[in-house]
């Protein structure tokens, strides 16, 4: 017994020592990055065109009622892309001429009077409204390489299902946006399109893999976007760029057309395609469109009484190993939300401690494991023979590799981790199932869990290499197939966006989106990166 206690004490000491060491490394790295990027901070220019400040839903109504033409709207966003993209590098391929032709056709349909405004609103709710999507979602005629150099010349031959649904709803595709290499990292950088930059501070990341989408929306260069999320790839870019993003319940939105796309049902359940927007009011109507027939599985038309929503929250994960502490600004914003909900709606939110959240990272990594050889290595080779990671590392050191360093590290980590089916792997899968049951029992069908989307505001470029596991705050909910909505809550002390996420149980997307709509009213939602004086 005494020996067991001693062993536990030794393990505890080693754990604390490792956490302290990692924190010191983080602080030193942050100091070095601040020196490297000193004086390089820049922002996008102020938004002067008032059309760019409208929600997609508002634009759709004004176009249908001929208060503004689709051509005017589309041209306004084209101009804004041309103005901001040299700074943020979010857009990587465009179809401006075709978009203007489609806008002209939309205006002609409306002017013809063949269909009433009511009919058009039902049949084509986004008629004449432009939108963008990340380039790893296939869009006919546009780049579809997912940041992989070997695929740099590939163009989409058809539209991904979600893109096609948006087009059938009358929306007009303007452009596709940048991603991380093979959409598997939380900084959007690759050797095909380069690095995307944050609209609030160009020395900071935009997140990934939907990072290009996040910064384009934040800059006011698109009214609505479609992202994908297997480990936080909608919610982290939404958080870093101060916009809203929703990862739907599993299997609600088709993954068809996403590259790379999971090959088995379990991993497909972790991936969710969803809407991203500067305005919470756009999330639900966009989700309804891209979910298509599956929208009937959700309660999107259910009227929400905020007073009847049960709210639970946690300020952090309880102290995960090798995870950054939650920034004080983020904790303060969460406390402000809890105070507001009680004063405005009489909701007495319950603070909870879910111990298994501390191993969110290991759980996600274990659940992403698959039988056989490294899937990521196969994808990096574009499924064309063996991928020699050692040789690629040598080439990277000689500035000859066409792969990002983090992609090479990912291959190594995938090979070094716990093998699929091993006792440790099975143990983590069991813990994953336990956590899912705990959250289901806690929330039921009328509860929402408020939790940090990410522990820190947007880091400097390349800084995620020092804190690679911070993505676990969002990734854990992909494993459970739960809906989760990223909600911006203004700017922190560094002038960067901060916010939280609202998580619900399966099929309760309407609750997390309702929370986003409510908190946008209370706290203002998106804040423009630059203000025109």
User: What's the token pair of residue 14?
Assistant: 């080693």
Asked if residue 203 belongs to a domain, the reply is yes
- At residue 4, the pLDDT reads 55
C-beta separation of 128 from 170 below 8 A: yes
User: What's the token pair of residue 264?
Assistant: 């088995």
Least confident of 363-377, 425-439, 464-478: 363-377
Residue-wise DSSP of 219-246: TTS-SEEEEEESSSTTHHHHHHTT-EEE
Asked if residue 33 belongs to a domain, the reply is no
- At residue 378, the pLDDT reads 87
> Pairing relation of β-strands 272-277 and 244-247?
antiparallel
Asked if residue 499 belongs to a domain, the reply is yes
Query: What is the CA 107 to chain-centroid distance, rounded?
Result: 33
- At residue 343, the pLDDT reads 98
- At residue 13, the pLDDT reads 66
The mean pLDDT of 265-292, rounded to a whole number, is 97
Whether 134 is a known active-site residue: answer: yes
pLDDT tens digits, one per residue of 93-133: 999 999 999 999 999 999 999 999 999 999 999 999 999 99
Residue-wise DSSP of 413-479: HHHHSPPTTSHHHHHHHHHHHHHHHHHHHHHTTSEEEEEESSSSSPPBTTGGGTSGGGGHHHHHHHH
Per-position b or e across 436-449, b if 16+ CB within 10 A of its CB: beebeeebeeebbb
C-beta separation of 192 from 149 below 8 A: yes
Model-level pTM greater than 0.75?
yes
Asked if residue 463 belongs to a domain, the reply is yes
Whether 233 is a known active-site residue: answer: yes
What is the number of domains present in the chain?
A: 1
- At residue 101, the pLDDT reads 98
Catalytic residue among 134, 167, 247, 250: 134
Residue-wise DSSP of 53-80: GS-HHHHHHHHHTTSS-HHHHHHHHHHH
Phi, psi of 383 (to 5 degrees): 55, 40
Query: What is the CA 493 to chain-centroid distance, rounded?
Result: 23
C-beta separation of 210 from 134 below 8 A: yes
C-beta separation of 243 from 278 below 8 A: yes
Q: What is the DSSP letter of 155?
A: B
Q: Residue 130: helix, strand or coil by DSSP?
A: strand
Distance separating alpha carbons of residues 479 and 458, to the nearest angstrom: 24
Asked if residue 397 belongs to a domain, the reply is no
Q: Residue 274: helix, strand or coil by DSSP?
A: strand
C-beta separation of 92 from 135 below 8 A: yes
Number of neighbours of residue 530 by Cβ within 10 angstroms = 16
Distance separating alpha carbons of residues 79 and 204, to the nearest angstrom: 24
Number of neighbours of residue 115 by Cβ within 10 angstroms = 16
Catalytic residue among 222, 233, 432, 472: 233
Catalytic residue among 209, 281, 324, 432: 209
pLDDT tens digits, one per residue of 191-235: 999 999 999 999 999 999 999 999 999 999 999 999 999 999 999
Q: What CATH number does residue 128 fall under? A: 3.90.1300.10
Distance separating alpha carbons of residues 377 and 384, to the nearest angstrom: 10
Which among 417, 314, 313, 315 has a CA at the least distance from the CA of 365?
417
Cα-Cα-Cα-Cα dihedral sign, residues 261, 265, 266, 269: positive
Distances 421 to 354, 425, 427, 449 between C-alpha atoms, Å: 26, 6, 9, 31
Q: List residues bridging with 499 in a β-sheet.
A: 488
Number of neighbours of residue 6 by Cβ within 10 angstroms = 10
Distance separating alpha carbons of residues 310 and 512, to the nearest angstrom: 11
Number of neighbours of residue 310 by Cβ within 10 angstroms = 17
Asked if residue 235 belongs to a domain, the reply is yes
Number of neighbours of residue 19 by Cβ within 10 angstroms = 16
Domain hosting 484: range is: 50-363+422-523
Asked if residue 124 belongs to a domain, the reply is yes
Distance separating alpha carbons of residues 144 and 134, to the nearest angstrom: 9
pLDDT tens digits, one per residue of 385-441: 888 999 999 999 999 999 999 999 998 888 777 788 999 999 999 999 999 999 999
Asked if residue 530 belongs to a domain, the reply is no
Whether 115 is a known active-site residue: answer: no
Residue 531: CA count within 13 A, CB half-sphere: 4
C-beta separation of 415 from 373 below 8 A: no
The mean pLDDT of 475-489, rounded to a whole number, is 98
């Amino acid at each position: 017994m005494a020996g067991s206690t001693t062993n536990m004490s030794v393990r505890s000491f080693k754990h604390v020592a490792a956490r302290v060491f990692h924190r010191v490394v983080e602080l030193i790295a942050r100091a070095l990055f601040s020196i490297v990027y000193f004086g390089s901070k820049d922002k996008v220019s102020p938004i002067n065109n008032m059309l760019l400040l409208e929600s997609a839903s508002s634009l759709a109504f004004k176009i249908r009622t001929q208060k503004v033409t689709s051509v005017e709207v589309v041209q306004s966003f084209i101009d804004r892309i041309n103005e901001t993209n040299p700074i943020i590098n979010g857009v990587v391929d465009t179809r401006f001429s075709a978009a203007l032709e489609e806008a002209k056709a939309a205006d002609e349909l409306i002017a013809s009077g063949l269909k009433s405004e009511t009919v058009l609103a039902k049949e084509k709710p986004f008629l004449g409204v432009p939108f963008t999507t990340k380039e790893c979602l296939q869009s006919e005629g546009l780049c579809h390489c997912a940041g992989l150099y070997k695929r740099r010349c590939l163009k989409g031959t058809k539209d991904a299902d979600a893109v096609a649904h948006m087009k059938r709803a009358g929306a007009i595709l303007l452009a596709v946006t940048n991603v991380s290499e093979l959409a598997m990292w939380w900084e959007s950088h690759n050797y095909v399109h380069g690095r995307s930059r944050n609209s609030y501070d160009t020395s900071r990341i935009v997140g990934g893999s939907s990072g290009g989408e996040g910064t384009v929306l934040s800059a006011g260069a698109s009214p609505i976007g479609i992202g994908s999320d297997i480990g936080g790839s909608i919610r982290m870019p939404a958080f870093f760029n101060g916009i809203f993003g929703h990862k739907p319940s599993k299997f609600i939105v088709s993954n068809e057309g996403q590259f790379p796309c999971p090959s088995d049902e379990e991993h497909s359940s972790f991936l969710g395609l969803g809407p991203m927007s500067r305005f919470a009011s756009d999330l639900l109507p966009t989700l309804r469109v891209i979910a298509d027939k599956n929208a009937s599985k959700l309660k999107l038309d259910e009227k929400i009484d905020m007073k009847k929503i049960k709210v639970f929250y946690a300020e952090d994960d309880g102290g995960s190993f090798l995870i950054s502490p939650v920034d004080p600004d983020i904790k303060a914003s969460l406390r402000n939300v809890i105070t507001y909900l009680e004063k405005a709606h009489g909701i007495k939110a319950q603070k909870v401690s879910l111990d298994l959240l501390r191993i969110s990272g290991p759980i996600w990594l274990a659940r992403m494991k698959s039988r056989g050889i490294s899937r990521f290595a196969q994808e990096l080779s574009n499924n064309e023979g063996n991928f020699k990671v050692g040789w690629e590392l040598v080439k990277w050191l000689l500035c000859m590799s066409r792969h990002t360093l983090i992609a090479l590290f990912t291959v190594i980590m995938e090979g070094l981790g716990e093998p699929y089916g091993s006792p440790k792997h099975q143990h983590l899968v069991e813990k994953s199932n336990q956590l899912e049951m705990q959250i289901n029992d806690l929330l039921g069908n009328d509860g929402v869990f408020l939790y940090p989307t990410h522990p820190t505001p947007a880091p400097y470029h390349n800084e995620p290499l020092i804190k690679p596991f911070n993505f676990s705050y969002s990734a854990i909910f992909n494993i459970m197939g739960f809906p989760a909505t990223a909600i911006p809550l203004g700017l922190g002390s560094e002038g960067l966006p901060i916010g939280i996420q609202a998580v619900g149980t399966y099929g309760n997307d309407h609750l997390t989106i309702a929370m986003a709509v409510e908190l946008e009213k209370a706290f203002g939602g998106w804040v423009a990166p630059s203000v025109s004086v």
